[in-house]
Amino acid sequence: MKQPVLGKKISELRLAKGLTQSELAKKCQLSLRTIQRIEAAEVMPRSYTIKLIFENLDYEIYNSFGKLSYKLDSTAYKTKIRLEQFYQYVLDLFNLKTNAMKKITILSVSCIFIICSLLMIGPDTKAQNKEDTRTHLNQKNSDIVRWFNSGQIDSIANMYLHNACLIPDNYREIHHRENILAYYQFLYDTGFRFSQTQTKKLIITDSIAIDRGIWVAQSVLQLSGTYLTQWRLFNGKWYIENEMSNADFIGQQ
């Protein structure tokens, strides 16, 4: 939702609740000036600020983003927490500036475990050459960006498992392929476009691949962030099973 539509929507919801700008600011623990500037379309707030305001206005933000509505149950909540913890753990593990020897030991043990597993347990599917897999997954990432930027959202469906899970920045997790595509369609309709994606670390086993990298995009704002994607080899093809991303604000275009 772009400005000035966003500011107008917040103003309408606030008035419908019988709240003044000062009262809304107090409920959200924001400054009065912030609410005034958002409603006047002078600024485009961060996603978590938008979410906070809508929550205090008892408005389901997903309904305005293509009629998506997801309720967190205990299982979904635990999944989110575990993915976030795993994401932070992986990022910290590859940062050797602190506890370098400990992290090197952990990485070494992990590599040994993976190698032993490959030697002792027969793979369920035919193992692929790692270099070929790396090239293949990089091409898939390029295809996703190209298809998204050209509006071929349906083509992205083939990249995800039916029961895949996506956790975008500051949003609830999105489950199942059709809901993930609806989310991508919403992003495309708002003018969001990728400028660059780049893999920084790729760990590959016979049936699982973990891809950590960065992305740069443009919309109303210029954004960049990191992503963590878990690929799974299923019936001889690689599909995205779990994915999460984190966005950082750069500035106005």
Residue 74 banded pLDDT, cuts 50, 70, 90: very low
My answer on whether 222 and 137 are in the same domain is: yes
Q: Is residue 119 part of a domain?
A: no
Of the residues 43, 59, 75, the one at which a domain ends: 59
Asked if 240 and 174 count as a contact pair (C-beta separation under 8 A), the reply is no
Enumerate the β-bridge partners of residue 208: 232
- Does the model's pTM come out above 0.95? no
Where residue 25 sits, what CATH number does that domain have? Answer: 1.10.260.40
Asked if 68 and 60 count as a contact pair (C-beta separation under 8 A), the reply is no
Asked if 222 and 252 count as a contact pair (C-beta separation under 8 A), the reply is yes
Q: Is residue 89 part of a domain?
A: no
**How many domains does one find in the chain?**
2
Q: Domain range for residue 15?
A: 5-59
What is the tens place of the pLDDT at every residue in 20-56?
999 999 999 999 999 999 999 898 888 888 888 988 9
My answer on whether 141 and 43 are in the same domain is: no
Please report the pLDDT score of residue 168 as a whole number. Answer: 85
Q: Which helix (H) or strand (E) holds 35?
A: helix 32-39
Buried b (16+ CB within 10 A) or exposed e, 46-75: ebebbebbbebbebebbeebeebeeeeeee
Q: How large a percentage of the chain has pLDDT more than 70?
A: 70
My answer on whether 49 and 134 are in the same domain is: no
What is the tens place of the pLDDT at every residue in 183-216?
889 888 888 899 888 898 999 988 899 999 998 8
Contacts of 57 (CB under 8 A, 6+ apart): 10, 13, 14, 17, 24
Of the residues 13, 31, 59, the one at which a domain ends: 59
Average pLDDT rounded to a whole number, residues 107-119: 60
E-strand stretches of 145-220: 160-167, 174-175, 193-204, 208-218
Of the residues 59, 86, 101, the one at which a domain ends: 59
Q: Is residue 109 part of a domain?
A: no
Contacts of 15 (CB under 8 A, 6+ apart): none
Average pLDDT rounded to a whole number, residues 93-107: 54
My answer on whether 36 and 141 are in the same domain is: no
My answer on whether 132 and 247 are in the same domain is: yes
Enumerate the β-bridge partners of residue 221: 252
Asked if 238 and 140 count as a contact pair (C-beta separation under 8 A), the reply is yes
Cα 207 to Cα 29, 117, 141, distances in angstroms: 47, 12, 18
- End-to-end, the C-alpha distance of the chain in Å comes to 17
